[in-house]
């Protein structure tokens, strides 16, 4: 692909947009506020401390916040939070630690869009419905942080509006967490998944915007 050794006219096809597909991208973009909100919360918790002593408390707080306040489980944002609170400093660029308020908001919106495109690119059923035929989407990135979050081990659980979590194996978890803690965390995630599996996702847009406003006002 980098060498451009292909015939654009012959090898690249744009399927005509059918009338029934007008506005079909809206279900994706309407949830950007949710992704941004989740990133704001991760940023808020991270600003309180990223040392090992805060790691377990932070990730539990984030899960409980999604369950009670947000009422939506954000799988990719959870994976990001797990890595950041667990000591993976390479992913800190995604939440703009150390920047001022305006820079942080700009960066978090950028990350929200990155996660939006990643979700959309990996959602085979949705893309197939949009173009009217079966597709095999391929997601390519040279961004380490985005690749880490979208690693093949979590792709089985990625669907738009997913309430699924990645259950982390003992040889995968970030170094700040103990095996005992991760076992308990995985049990907690399984319980939440079972409890919420039959729940209808009801997103209160006014509540989302209210939480965003509150989180933005607390940016350091």
- Tell me: the pLDDT tens digits for 164-192? 555 555 556 788 999 899 989 988 988 88
| Residue 202: predicted pLDDT | 74
pLDDT band at 8 (very low <50, low <70, confident <90, very high): low
Is the pLDDT confidence value at 7 over 80? no
The answer to whether the Cα torsion of 82, 54, 213, 193 is positive or negative is positive
DSSP-assigned letter for residue 72: S
Q: What is the pLDDT of residue 193?
A: 81
What is 208-219 written as a DSSP string?
A: HHHHHHHHHHT-
Q: How far apart are CA 97 and CA 104, in angstroms?
A: 8
At 85-142, the pLDDT tens digits run 999 998 999 998 888 999 999 999 999 998 888 887 777 777 777 777 787 777 778 8
Separation of alpha carbons 207 and 212, rounded Å: 9
- Residue 131, pLDDT score: 73
Q: Calculate mean pLDDT across residues 151-156.
A: 49
Q: Could you report the per-residue pLDDT of 197-212, keeping only the tens digit for each? A: 766 777 788 888 999 9
Cα(134)–Cα(67) distance, rounded to whole angstroms?
Answer: 34
CA proximity to 30, closest of 171, 213, 203, 218: 203
User: How many residues are given for the chain?
Assistant: 220
Q: Rg of the Cα trace of the chain?
A: 19
pLDDT, position 152: 52
Which one, of 103, 121, 94, lies nearest residue 35 by Cα?
Answer: 94
pLDDT tens, 40-68?
Answer: 999 999 998 999 999 999 999 999 999 99
* Residue-level pLDDT at 23: 44
């Amino acid at each position: 692909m980098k060498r451009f050794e292909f015939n654009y006219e012959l090898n690249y096809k744009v399927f005509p947009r059918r009338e029934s597909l007008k506005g079909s991208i809206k279900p994706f973009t309407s949830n950007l506020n949710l992704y941004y909100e989740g990133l704001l919360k991760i940023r808020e918790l991270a600003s309180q401390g990223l040392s090992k002593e805060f790691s377990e408390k932070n990730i539990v707080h984030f899960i409980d916040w999604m369950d009670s306040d947000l009422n939506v489980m954000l799988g990719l944002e959870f994976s990001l939070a797990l890595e950041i609170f667990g000591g993976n400093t390479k992913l800190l660029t995604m939440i703009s630690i150390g920047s001022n308020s305006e820079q942080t908001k700009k960066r978090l919106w950028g990350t929200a869009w990155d996660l939006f495109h990643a979700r959309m690119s990996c959602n085979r059923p949705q893309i197939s419905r949009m173009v009217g035929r079966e597709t095999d989407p391929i997601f390519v990135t040279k961004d380490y942080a985005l690749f880490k979050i979208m690693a093949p081990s979590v792709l089985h659980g990625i669907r738009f509006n997913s309430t699924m979590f990645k259950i982390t194996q003992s040889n995968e978890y970030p170094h700040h967490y103990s095996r005992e803690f991760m076992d308990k965390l995985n049990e907690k995630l399984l319980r939440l998944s079972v409890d919420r599996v039959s729940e209808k996702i009801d997103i209160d847009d006014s509540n989302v915007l209210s939480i965003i406003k509150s989180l933005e006002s607390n940016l350091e």
